[in-house]
Amino acid sequence: MRGGGWGRRTLIAIPYAWLLVLFLAPFLIVLRISLSDFAISQPPYSPVLDLPACFGEADLPAAEGEAPDLLSCLGGWADQFWGLVEEWDFDNYIWLTQDNIYWLSYITSLEIAAVSTLLILLIGYPIAYGMARAPKAWQPTLLMLVILPFWTSFLIRVYAWISILKTEGLLNQFLQGIGLLDEPLVILGTNTAVYIGIVYSYLPFMVLPLYATLVKMDESLLEAAQDLGCTRFTAFWLVTIPLSIPGIVAGSMLVFIPAVGEFVVPDLLGGSETLMIGRTLWTEFFGNRDWPVASAVAIILLLVLVVPIVLFQRHQDRAQEAGR
Amino acid sequence: MPEPPVILAKGTGAATAAGHAGTASGGPGGAKVFAPWNDPDAKPLVEFRSVTKLFGEVAAVDDLSLKIYPREFFALLGPSGCGKTTLMRMLAGFESPTHGEIWLDGKELTGTPPNRRPVNMMFQAYALFPHLSVADNIAFGLRRDGLPKGEVAERVEQMLALVQLHGLATRRPHQLSGGQRQRVALARSLAKRPKMLLLDEPLGALDKKLREQTQFELVSIQERLGTTFLIVTHDQDEAMTVADRIAVMDQGRLVQVAPPAQIYEYPTSRYVADFLGDVNLIEGRVAAMAAENARLTWCEGRPDFTCPANPDLKPGDTAWFGIRPEKVAIDKDMPPDRPGQNAVEGTVWDIGYVGNLSTYHVKLDDGQMVRAQVANRVHLARREISWEDRVWLSWGKDDGVLLAR
Amino acid sequence: MRRFTWFNATSITLGFVFLYLPIILLVIYSFNDSRLVTVWGGFSGRWYGEALRNDAFLSAAWNTLQVALVTATVATVLGTLAAIVLVRGGRFLGRTLFGGMVYAPLVMPEVITGLSLLLLFVSLDVPRGLMTIMLAHITFAMCYASVVISARLVSFDRSLEEAALDLGCNQFSAFLRVTLPNILPSIIAAWLLSFTLSLDDLVIASFTSGPGATTLPMRIYSQVRLGVTPEINALSSMLVGLVTVGVIVASLISKRAETRRLAAERAAR
């Protein structure tokens, strides 16, 4: 695609415009609504895109933002700004700080996502490593077996655990059957069940990038390390692990970020005490029908996730460059 | 019946002879030789006029002018990154010059997309379409031109015959060996009968034996078709074998453009002398400069060298005497003094043995190293000269060149 | 030489047991005659019959199928365009933003995507229904599609396109005749991936759907919230079976092509 022809511009414009309208613009609307008044924003929802009315001329100096302009029009501008803040209130955000449930939800979500990511890494690494070292003839089949669950419904895979983890479920039947337990374990409806569900459903997301980096690795590097005095374990620790860091980062991001906002797992496997933010948002939206608060919850969640998302992005860009 | 390939009376041997003599047109016996570059009336097929190509700040091609004549087999030779591939890609239309013009057959090419240029390219890794059969690969360009079906089939047959790939028409590229792929790529790029064929390191992927054999085939196909070939290569042997003229490039500029023998025997710079083959370079100061001969002081207290004149130099200038190792004779005794002969004494420092040849590394008394290469006509055990021996090196006054840069 | 140790074999085996046991148990118990889903009451296929006679399931399945077909097709086209822009677009204004918008939906929590799209549709006064679900699904599926296709496009040998240009193609026909046939497997994979993503999605569909536009995952979810039923087991098993058969058939076909290719390559030597 050389030059800057008309065709090239159209080609760029089509997916670009689609994503701008259906991905980026929605976030701005969420932001706008998170800053609006409870009363006027409750469904049936009426005015949203009256941005010119509240932004008006105030938009101009703000956009240019140069010091001389700012000084010269500070008088009028400042008034308008405060006028706006009165109209755009931060009540929803203040509300979030006052109710413990939101804080707890964020903290619990981050904690569950972080611990799950670590667990998945610990479980997934040996699997990916084994796959990468398996005979070449098996590898396509093994790869397909990891990908297959990815194609089957997330909902169904989470659902499958309900009958296993229930008090009278298959796990307890088995453990009591072999005489290991007298009393059934209570797992369903606890955080343990949430961990199991997240580890189970996100495992392939970790194994795939790990496998991709491990299988590319030059075996002679390990031989060189051993030749230079490493044991097999230290060679693994000093060569294999550092070289697989791109895979570890990619896998962890692919697991951690969506897991923070996970809804299905805590809703189906967790109990009432499992406060995860995705679920809180869902309840706020569908249960309490408080759209501005739900929007504020979403905005804060996005702010929390901005750093890992940017990290993931840079990783993807670098991977793209490397493949070139 | 397709028209038979044009057969041209163009002997590379004759061209070599002309180059060797370093003369203008007209070789031994007055036979007509192929040397349009010496004919001021000859019309070039391709002309680069002060072409510059910048990639950011870096000039890949730097104010370069060059004429290539019809039916020439022209080689661009240089190390990687010297700009030779960029030059070729500008001709094909994949890059456009930052400044300057490229003329092909009387037309300026800037702005013409690759698909409208009457040149075709044979790509470095062949770039055969993996989803098409051999025949479809060859027919690809013909079909884009909207040639009638019958003619396409005929032309494909012709091309398969040319590269001796009969019976492989229905194979896919991955079902071919490296040598076969190379032939398909050649056939595909020749099928459209381009005015000029561009070859980007065409033999780089082949092993040595096959490469040498293919070089001769390329020459023979080029002579039969009479198409102008432009080859880009970093392999000096390849350039010497196939080309009528070689252009040596360095950092985006042409350093020397000449027939192979001339470029080997009469390099105009240390860079060219060193890049093509092996050379001894002895630094000195010009003591005298006459019409035929020059004298070079290379070491105080030793006799000056007598060497061919170089009009670019005047007495007192720093200059380099370049001589190929195979032109240096080595003896245990001082050779008899003859007019125009140079002789120096030194100590054998090392001997490189490669079977058919031995290279003696001799340290002169001022510390400079000079290599002498000798064919091993006697058995290794009966060799006269050994390490640490005092030896005499000698050569005729016209065996080397005096270089100003 | 790679050494495949007992440790490697054990970790793979345990990993796959963990990944597959729950699904296998689900399928086994879908043939359980008893209404009490975790108590084995004998082999029976009757729940399959019940599930297939359930009108609510059938209409939801039909909705889902329509959404998934439209999503997969449009998302693949858009994803291909996005991949070309990412890999071949060179520099243009807002390239970083574009790359961000393509990659971010891969990790964006679904609740955020769903909420933001709903608010967009409401604010633009778009009536909600299957149409809005499709728009939402296309948006995130095209990002997956573009990642799958750009991975192939990056490794695609650029000189093949140049050869096509050299032989008389213009940019467009070079893409159509040379690039497209060679990246076709990734485009098919992108279509299948978009299709299953749309088929599976619960959260985004819940946010963006309107009255009467219930998809199968939404139907399953509302039933599951009330508890495990044998009918859902049967329905889930059918879906799992369908996908498994599809994936296995697809991979066998590509494996056969691969084997033939390898055999041909060996014959050429």
Q: What is the pLDDT of residue C122?
A: 83
**What is the phi/psi pair of residue B359, to 5°?**
-110, 120
- A 10 A CB-CB count for A12 gives 22
Residue A32 lies in a domain: no
Which stretch of A116-125, C38-47, C206-215 has the lowest confidence by average pLDDT? C38-47
Distance between A61 CA and the closest CA of chain C, angstroms: 23
Is C250 part of any domain?
yes
**C3 contacts on A by Cβ (under 8 Å):** 133
- Choose the weakest-confidence range: A104-113, B25-34, C183-192: B25-34
Q: When comparing pLDDT for A57 and B167, which is higher?
A: B167
Q: Give the pLDDT band of residue A53 (cuts 50, 70, 90).
A: very low
pLDDT of B27 reads: 40
Least confident of B124-138, B175-189, C70-84, C91-105: C91-105
How many helices (H) and strands (E) chain A has is answered by 20, 0
Q: Which two tokens stand for residue C91?
A: 């520099």
Q: Which of C167, C182, C267 sits opposite B131 (nearest CB)?
A: C182
Cβ pair A11:C26 closer than 8 A: no
Mutation target to probe the C interface, by most C beta carbons within 10 A, among B55, B126, B136, B144 is B144
Q: Which of A63-77, B38-52, B273-287, C235-249 has the lowest mean pLDDT?
A: A63-77
Region of residue A75 (left: phi > 0; alpha: psi -120 to 50; beta: else):
alpha
CATH (domain of C165): 1.10.3720.10
How much is the average pLDDT of C204-229? 87
- Has residue B22 got a pLDDT over 50? no
pLDDT of C56 reads 86
List of chain C residues whose C-beta atoms are within 8 Å of the C-beta of residue B121: 162-163, 166
Average confidence (pLDDT) over C195-210: 90
Cβ distance of C164 and B129 shorter than 8 Å:
yes
Chain C nearest-CA distance from B244, in A, is 25
Residue-level pLDDT at A320: 65
Which chain B residue shows the shortest CA-CA distance from C180? B131
Cis before residue A44, ω within 30 degrees of 0? yes
pLDDT at A227: 75
Q: What's the whole-number mean pLDDT along residues C239-259?
A: 80
Task: Give the pLDDT confidence of B359-397 residue by residue, as tens digits.
Answer: 999 998 888 889 999 888 887 777 788 888 888 888 888
Query: How many other CB atoms are there within 10 angstroms of residue C176's CB atom?
Result: 13
Q: How are beta strands B341-353 and B390-396 bridged, if at all?
A: antiparallel
CATH superfamily of B282-403: Nucleic acid-binding proteins (2.40.50.140)
By C-alpha distance, the chain B residue nearest C260 is B175
State the fold for domain B46-265.
Answer: Rossmann fold (3.40.50)
Q: Where are the domains of chain B?
A: 46-265, 282-403
For the stretch C85-113, pLDDT in tens is: 988 877 788 888 888 888 888 888 888 99
Q: By percentage, how much of chain C surpasses pLDDT 70?
A: 96
pLDDT at site A322: 64
Q: Which long-range contacts (CB under 8 A, 24 or more apart) does C169-173 make?
A: C169/B115, C169/B144, C170/B113, C170/B115, C171/A1, C171/A2, C171/A7, C172/A7, C173/B144
Touching partners of C (3+ C-beta pairs < 8 Å): A, B
C200 within domain boundaries: yes
Q: Per the CB < 8 Å rule, is C169 touching B175?
A: no
Helix (H) or strand (E) holding C161: helix C158-166
- Which residues in chain C are closer than 8 Å to B210, comparing Cβ atoms? none
DSSP A42: S
- Supply the CATH number for residue A304's domain: 1.10.3720.10
* Average pLDDT of the segment spanning B341-357: 88
Q: pLDDT band at C264, cuts 50/70/90?
A: low
For B339, phi and psi rounded to 5 degrees? -65, 135
Query: Do residues A276 and A141 lie in contact, with contact meaning Cβ atoms separated by under 8 Å?
Result: no
Quickly state the pLDDT bin for C81 (edges 50, 70, 90): very high
The pLDDT value given to residue B44: 92
Which residues in chain B are closer than 8 Å to C177, comparing Cβ atoms? 140
Q: Given pLDDT bands bounded at 50, 70 and 90, which one contains residue C259?
A: confident
User: Whose CA is closest to B22, among B35, B40, B5?
Assistant: B35
CB of C42 within 8 Å of a chain A CB? The answer is: no
Supply the ipTM of this predicted assembly: 0.84
**C-alpha distance from A323 to closest chain C C-alpha (Å):** 6
Q: How much of chain A, in percent, has pLDDT values that exceed 70?
A: 80
As a whole number of angstroms, the distance between CA B213 and CA B230 comes to 19
Task: Please state, in angstroms and rounded to a whole number, the distance separating the CA atoms of residues A176 and A192.
Answer: 19
Give residue for tokens 């044991």. A231
Size of interface A-C (CB pairs under 8 A): 270
Q: Helix crossing, A245-260 with A191-216: angle to 10°?
A: 150
> Could you tell me which chain B residue has the CA closest to the CA of C269?
B177
Q: Is residue C150 part of a domain?
A: yes
Return the partners of chain A (3 or more C-beta pairs < 8 Å): C
Asked if C202 reaches chain A (Cβ–Cβ under 8 Å), the answer is yes
CA distance A99 to B124: 68
Mean per-residue pLDDT for B226-232? 93
Residues of B in contact with C156 (CB under 8 A): none
Q: What is the mean pLDDT of residues A307-314?
A: 81
pLDDT of amino acid B97:
92
Q: What is the pLDDT of residue A306?
A: 85
> Closest approach of chain A CAs to the CA of C230, in angstroms?
11
Q: Mutation target for A interface from C116, C138, C215, C235: give the one with most A CBs within 10 A.
A: C116
Q: How many domains does chain A have?
A: 1
The reply to whether A72 falls in a domain is no
* Cα nearest neighbour of C267 on chain B: B175
Is pLDDT of B18 > 50? no
pLDDT value for C233? 87
- A241 half-sphere exposure, CB direction, 13 A CA radius: 10
Q: C169 contacts in B (CB within 8 Å)? A: 115, 144
CA distance A98 to chain C (A): 22
For C213-224, the pLDDT digits (tens) are 899 999 999 888
Contacting residues of C for B141, CB less than 8 Å apart: 166-168
Quick one: pLDDT at residue B10?
A: 47
Does residue C20 belong to any structural domain of this protein?
no
Could you tell me the pTM of the whole model? 0.77
Give, for B237, the enclosing helix (H) or strand (E): helix B236-242
pLDDT in tens, A216-235: 887 778 777 777 777 778 88
Q: Is B400 helix (H, G, I), strand (E, B) or coil?
A: coil
Whether residue A181 is predicted with pLDDT greater than 90 in this model: the reply is: no
Cα separation, C183 vs C164, in Å, equals 15
pLDDT of the residue at A67: 36
| Candidates A33, A119, A127, A223, partner chain C, best to mutate (most C CBs within 10 A) | A127
| Yes or no, beta carbons of C108 and A258 under 8 Å apart | yes
- Geometric angle at alpha carbon B209, from B203 and B211, rounded to 5°: 15
Chain C neighbors of A18, CB-CB under 8 A: 78, 138-139, 142
Residues of A in contact with C101 (CB under 8 A): 19-20, 23-24
Whether A278 and chain C come into contact, CB under 8 Å, resolves to yes
Mean local confidence (pLDDT), B132-154 = 91
Contact A153 C200 (CB under 8 A): yes
Distance in Å, alpha carbon of C109 to nearest chain A alpha carbon: 5
Name the closest residue on chain C to residue A11, using Cα atoms: C81
Chain A contact present for C94, CB below 8 A: yes
pLDDT tens, A146-168?
888 877 888 888 988 988 888 88
Q: Average the pLDDT over A274-278 and give the result.
A: 86
> What residue of C is the nearest CA neighbor of B93?
C166
Angle at B214 between CA B210 and CA B218, to 5 degrees: 170
Contact between residue A156 and residue A201 where contact means Cβ atoms under 8 Å apart? no
Of B114, B10, B16, B14, the residue nearest B70 (C-alpha): B10
Average pLDDT over residues A88-97: 73
B with C: how many residue pairs have Cβ under 8 Å apart? 76
What pLDDT was estimated at residue A49?
Answer: 34
- Taking the Cβ of residue C174 and every Cβ of chain A, the question of whether any pair is shorter than 8 Å is answered with no
Residues contacting residue C59 through CB under 8 Å, at least 6 positions apart? C214
> What's the gap in Å between the CA of C163 and the closest CA on chain A?
14
Mean pLDDT, residues B327-356: 86
pLDDT at B305: 86
Contact A133 C8 (CB under 8 A): yes
- Report pLDDT for A65: 35
Does the distance separating the beta carbons of B188 and C168 come in below 8 Å? Answer: no
Domain count, chain C: 1
**Which domain does C236 fall in, by range?**
46-268
Domain around A229: 94-323
Which chain C residue lies closest to A21 (C-alpha atoms)?
C120
